[in-house]
Structure 1
Amino acid sequence: MGRRYYCEYCEKTFIDELEARKKHLQSANHMKLRNMHYEQCRDPAILLKEELLKIPCRKYFQNGICLFEGSCKYTHYSAEQLCELRQKVEQMEQKRQKTDSEKMNIPSVDSWLEKYEETVDKINNVVHLLWSYPENLSSRLDLPPSLIKFKPEHFHDDDFEEWGK
């Protein structure tokens, strides 16, 4: 016995051959069931917008069933269902606006740190050095010129040579 293909939309199994699978995937019943499945996942705002433009399906509301189901050009939603859908869309919009406004009020970490340091410095009236010379280096005599600690007399020499000579 060969492999079998199971269609989750139709809940049917059949022999897994290219022609049989292609025929099934193009069948009206499969496409109708697939569309009904994805209809449940649609964005409520788009669904509401589309359903408000449609007029009620007479057959669906008289008999409780419509042969066209998901592909019907008329709406199958009652006034109460449309009202519930509208409320759901409004709640989602309010929630989105609330999260957007919260995001806008959150400062970045860098700006928060700068503000925090300014307030701490104002309270303490202390100037903090960004870098201090390590004291263990001052006792060493074998340091290259770039690591030797500056002294005030180093800055009194204003006789600069020209660059590039």
Structure 2
Amino acid sequence: MGGKSYYCDYCCCYMKNDLNVRKLHNDGISHTIAKANYMKRYENPKKILTEERQKTPCKRYFGGYCKFDMYCKYTHYSGKELQELEKLVLAKKRTNSQKRNKGKRWPWKTHLQKGLPPSLQSINPVKLKQTVFELSWG
């Protein structure tokens, strides 16, 4: 395994690049908590909002420090943070519904046709009748 160090992205620490050392570190509680905190960032905001609304505020956390961190049965979100999370959920819901609505329409049949290049615009029969197709080759 060499003399190089192994860096844990979740815990932001270096350790000896040895299989047993890495296994011991990855099974530890501090690594498990750090990994859970990292993965929580990518969790669905709607799920987080529903879970946090059911909890009461944590007196320890708002008093200064809560040793339970993510595993606390009380919420660590303030009222303002819950409102911001609610806005995020609503914005995500709107964008998802807009994506679904846009997917059902044909892009060339919309009112946005004026912004398209001439080759992509629909054919106007009146202009087609006025066109002279006599070409001279060479």
The TM-score normalised by the length of structure 2 is 0.72
* 1:8-157 correspondence runs (5 A): 8-61=9-62, 63-106=63-106, 116=122, 120=125, 124=129
Name the amino acid aligned to 1:78. Answer: S
**In structure 2, what is the equivalent of residue 137 of structure 1?**
none
- Indicate the percent of aligned positions where both proteins have the same amino acid: 30
RCO higher in 1 or 2 (8 Å CA, sep ≥ 6)?
Answer: 2
Deviation at 1:12, TM superposition (A): 1.6
Figure out how many residues of one structure are paired with residues of the other and give that number: 121
TM-superposed deviation, 1:64? 2.2
TM-score by length of 1: 0.62
Aligned to 1:141: none
What SS does structure 2 have at the residue aligned with 1:2?
coil
Q: Which has the greater radius of gyration? A: 1
Q: Name the CA distance, whole Å, in 2 between partners of 1:103 and 1:10.
A: 42
Letter in 2 for 1:53: Q
Runs of at least 5 residues in structure 1 that lack an aligned partner in the other structure: 110-115, 125-165
**Amino acid of the structure 2 residue aligned with 1:101:** N
Cα distance between partner residues in 2 of 1:59 and 1:89? 28
Q: Distance in 2 between matches of 1:49 and 1:23?
A: 35
Aligned-residue offset at 1:85: 0.5
**Cα deviation 1:36-70 (Å, max 9, x = unaligned):** 11112222112112211222212112x22110111
Structure 2 Cα separation of the partners of residues 7 and 107 of structure 1? 47
Cα distance in 2 for residues equivalent to 1:23 and 1:108: 59
The AA in structure 2 aligned to 1:91 is: A
- Note closer, same or farther for the CA distance 1:6–1:107 as it changes in structure 2 (3 Å cut): closer
- Once residues 98 and 107 of structure 1 are traced to their aligned partners in structure 2, the CA distance between those partners, rounded to angstroms, is 14
Query: Structure 1: how far apart are the matches of 2:93 and 2:12?
Result: 37
C-alpha RMSD of the superposition: 2.9
In the TM superposition, residue 27 of structure 1 has moved relative to its aligned partner by 0.8
Deviations 1:125-156 (A, max 9, x none): xxxxxxxxxxxxxxxxxxxxxxxxxxxxxxxx
Query: CA offsets per residue over residues 61-118 of structure 1, 9 Å max, x none?
Result: 2x22110111212210011110111011111111221222122222589xxxxxx56x
SS at match of 2:92: helix
Q: Unaligned 5+ residue runs, structure 2?
A: 110-121, 130-138
